[in-house]
Amino acid sequence: MAGVYCARDLHFPNTVKLVAIKEMMMHTDDSLLRDSIIQNFEREANILASLSHPAIPHIADYFTRGDRSYLILEFIQGKDLEKIINDTPGFIPEDQVIKWALEICDVLYYLHNYHPKPIVFRDMKPSNVMIDNNSHVFLIDFGIAKVFETGVKGTMIGTEGFSPPEQYRGEATPQADIYSLGATLHYLLTKVDPREEPPFTFHERKVRSVNQDISEEFENIINRAVRYKPEERYSNILEMKTALDRCLHGSRPAHRAEKSLDETASSNDVFSVRPVWIFECEDEIRQAPYYYNDMVYVGAYDRNLYAINANTGKMEWKAPTEGGIASKPAVLENAIYFGSEDKKLYSLYLKDGSLKWAYSTDDAIRSSPRIYNKVIYIGSDDGRLHAVSAESGHALWKIEAAGPVRSSVLVDDDLLYFGCEEGDFYCASLSGEIKWRNKTKRAVTSSPAVYQEEVIFASLEGHLFALDKNSGWIIWRYRMQKGSISSPLVFKDYVYVGSADGYLYCVDVFRPVEKWKFKTGGQIAGSPAVYEENIYCGSTDGYLYCLDATNGRMVWKYKTEGPITGSPVLFSHMLYIGSMDHRLYAIKV
Residues in contact with other proteins by the rule CB under 8 A = 1, 27, 152-156, 160, 165, 168-169, 195-196, 198-200, 228, 423, 435-441, 452-454, 465-466, 468, 470-477, 510-512
Beta bridge partners, 416, equal: 411, 428
Q: Give the nearer residue to other proteins in terms of CB position, either 79 or 519.
A: 79
**Nearer Cβ to other proteins (440/520):** 440
Strands of 449-451's sheet in order across? 449-451, 454-458, 463-468, 474-479
Q: Taking Cα atoms as reference points, which of 237, 213, 212, 210 lies closest to residue 224?
A: 237
Nearer of residues 96 and 173 to other proteins, judged by Cβ: 173
We find the least distance from the C-beta atom of residue 25 to other proteins, in angstroms, to be: 9
In the complex, the smallest distance separating the C-beta of residue 501 from other proteins, rounded to whole angstroms, is 20
Smallest separation, CB 533 to other proteins (Å): 24
Residues 6+ apart with CB under 8 A from 194: 160, 161, 162, 183, 186, 187, 202
**Beta carbon nearer to other proteins, 63 or 473:** 473
Helix (H, G, I), strand (E, B) or coil at 53: coil
Helix axes 174-190, 237-249, angle to 10 degrees: 30
Nearer of residues 112 and 146 to other proteins, judged by Cβ: 146
Residue 401 or 584 with smaller CB distance to other proteins? 401
The least CB distance from residue 100 to other proteins, in Å, is 23
List the beta bridge partners of residue 474.
467
In b/e form, how buried is each residue of 69-93, taking b as 16+ CB within 10 angstroms?
A: bbbbbebbeebbbbebbeeeeebbe
Give least dist CB 304 to other proteins, A.
Answer: 40
Query: What 3-state class would DSSP assign to 581?
Result: coil
What's the min distance (Å) between Cβ of 178 and other proteins? 18
Whether residue 286 contacts residue 565, with contact meaning beta carbons closer than 8 Å, is answered with yes
Residue 415: CB atoms within 10 Å:
17
Smaller CB separation from other proteins, 65 or 153: 153
| Cross-strand pairs, 137 | 131
> Residue 435's CB: how many other CB atoms inside 10 A?
15
Q: Which is nearer to other proteins, 11 or 169 (CB)?
A: 169
* Residue 55 or 466 with smaller CB distance to other proteins: 466
**Amino acid letter at 221?**
I
Task: Give the other-Cβ count within 10 Å of 357's Cβ.
Answer: 18
| Cβ atoms 281, 580 nearer than 8 A | no
- The residue ranges of DSSP E strands in 340-383, in sequence order, are 344-349, 355-360, 370-372, 375-380
Minimum separation from the CB atom of position 427 to other proteins (A): 11
CB closer to other proteins, 291 vs 494? 494
| Other beta carbons within 10 Å of 154 | 4
What is the rounded CA–CA span in Å between residue 62 and residue 119? 20
Residue 383 dihedral angles phi and psi, to the nearest 5° = 85, 20
CB of 166 to other proteins, least distance (A): 9
Indicate the burial class of 49 (C-beta count within 10 angstroms; 0-12, 13-18, 19 or more): middle
Shortest spacing between CB 198 and other proteins, in angstroms: 7
Query: Any idea what DSSP says for residue 232?
Result: G
Q: What are phi and psi of 448, to 5 degrees?
A: -75, 160
Residue 40's identity, in one-letter code, is: N
Q: Which is nearer to other proteins, 5 or 168 (CB)?
A: 168
- Cis status, amide bond into 116, omega within 30 of 0: yes
Q: How far is the CB of 174 from other proteins (least distance, A)?
A: 20
Is 558:587 a contact under the CB 8 Å cutoff? Answer: yes
Using the minimum distance from each CB to other proteins, give the nearer residue, 339 or 483.
483
